Structure 1
C-alpha cells in the first residue's frame, strides 16, 4: 500500500523506515538550535507509537565540536550521513556564518549540501533547511540563488548585501521553497521544524509534538514584530485582537473591512500594520488559517469535502480544492488518504475528491 505525500511523491504507508534528519553542526554551534531539532523531530510518533524520524548529529569532521556555551558536544557522524539524509538542518554558528561568502565553503561540504537537494533513487525528494544565520551556509553553497529566503532580522541587511541573487524577506518566521527552507532566529526554528513535521505527517502529528514540547503548533505573526522600531512607531495598535477574533469565525465570510473595524483602524492602516506584523496580507493570512482548519477536519472527521469547505470558510468544495492544490499541491481527498488512512475514513468523505 502506498500513499501520496504533499510533495507529490509516494511512500509505503506501512513498515516504512523513519526519515533520516541530519543536523550539521560546526564550531560555535548554538546548543538551543541543536537541541530543538532533536526534541521536535525526535518526539514525532506514528499512531502505533513508532518514531517517525531518525535524528543524527553530523559535522564536517566527526568528533568534538565547540559550542557558543561553556561545554562541547560530540558529533558521531560525518558528511556521508549528510549527503544521504532525507532532511538536513543547518543551525547557526555565529563564529563563522556572517563571514561566509559565495563559494568559500570547502568543496566536500558544498557537495554534501548540494547532494541533499537532488533527487535520489528513493521515492521522496531530499530537502535542506537552515535555522537563523545557518542560511549563510546555504547561500554560500549557491543553494539560495534566485530563491526567496529569510534569516535573523539583525543579519538580514548583511545577508542581502552579501548574496544579492537571493530575495531576502526579513519579516517572516520561515520560508518554504519546497526542497529548500530557511528560518529566522533560534525560536523560529521551532516553527520551521513543526512546519516540516506537519508537511510530512499531517497536522495531528505536528500538534501532538507541539503539545509534548509545550509550544503552540502554529505561532501567529512573523519576526517583524520583534524588530526594534523608532520611538514614533511605538504605541501603534496591534492587529492581534482581530486575528484572535477571526480564528473563532473562520466559517464566516469575513471581509477586510470587518477585520479593520474590529481593531478600530482604517482599512489602509490595518493592511499596512497587518503586513508589518505577519509578513502577509490579511486575506493571505485568513486563507492560510482556513487551509489549516480544513487539514484538521480532513484528518480528524469523516465530513465530506463540501462540509469541510463550509466549516473551514471556503464555502464550496471547488474553492477548497483550488486552495489545497495551490497551497499543498494535492487534493483534499489525497491529503486525507495520506494523513488519515483510507481504512479509518468513511466512504462518503473519502470518495468525495
Structure 2
C-alpha cells in the first residue's frame, strides 16, 4: 500500500481510506439489514458471491440441496424471478418454509422436497426431472442457523437443550447424539471425536464421558456435555478466526453431529447425484465449514479419487488404480494421461472463495466458510 512521506499527503490518504472503509461498511450494513429483513433474521452465507458465480437465468432449473431458511433460494429468485428451484432439505421445519415460499410463486416454480442428499434421484424422478436437465446445484453444508437457534434441537453449545442433533428430527434417523454419547465405548467415541472433529484431546474427552456415565448416569442435555468437555481442558480455551474466545466443546459437538447425520457420506452421494442431473457446463457450488467437507468437495471437483492419499505421484496413482493394472508397469504414456485426465468437473476458480472481513463481522457464522464451484464437463 502506498504511504505518503509528508503529513499532508498522509492525511489525505488516511481520509480517503477512512471514507472508503465507511462507505463499504455502510454498504455492507445496509445490505445485511435488507437481507435480514427479507429472510426473517437469517443471513445466508456469502449470498452475493454465490449468486454472482451461479448467475441464475429465468426459466432455468436450480437445485438448492440445503434449503434451510431459504436465504440462497430467495436471492436466486431476486436475480432471476422466473427461475425454477427444487428446494430440498431433510429438516421438517425447513420443508415448511419451502412450502410457504412455493405459495408465493407460480405453481410448479418452487418445488419443496424433504429428504437427504441420497434420496435426490428418487425425488427427481417423482418431479419428472431427467438426467442432464438441471442448470445449477447449490450445497450449503452443515447445520443451519435455524437449527443452531433452536435449543431443543441440541445443536447449540450456548443454549441448553436435549442432546438430539438429528437434522431430520427423527423422521428417518433413529440415532441421536444422546444415543451416541451414552452407548458407544470409549474407543469408538475417541475415533469419532478424532476423525470428525480433529480433536487433539479426543481420548481424554471420551474417557470423561464414560466415567460420567458410570458415576452419574445418562448425559441428556447439551449443557452437561459442554461441562464434561470443559472439565478436560481446565482453564484452557480456543480462539476463533476473529480472535474471540471460543468454546473448547465446539469440535466435539461438530464431530458428534457429523456422525449422527452421516454428513460426509451424504455429501459424497449428493455430489455424485448433482453431476448426474446437471447439464454439460452446468454449475455446482458448495459452501463448507469443515476441512473434511471441503476435502470431499475438492476431490470431486479436481478429479481426485475419494480414497486416495494426498499428494500422490502419477506412478503411485497408476499402481493403485484398477484402471492401470493391465499395463503391468509397461505404461503407454498417451493412454495413461487420457485415463488420468478423464475428469468430470472443471473448477471455476482455482482458489477457494472466502467471505470478506466485513461479512464475518456482520455474520460471525460465516467466518469458517469456504466456497468452491465447478462446471460439469
Q: Tell whether the structures are fold-level matches, with TM greater than 0.5.
A: no
- TM, length-normalised to structure 2: 0.27
- TM, length-normalised to structure 1: 0.28
Considering only CA atoms, is the larger Rg found in Structure 1 or Structure 2? Answer: 2
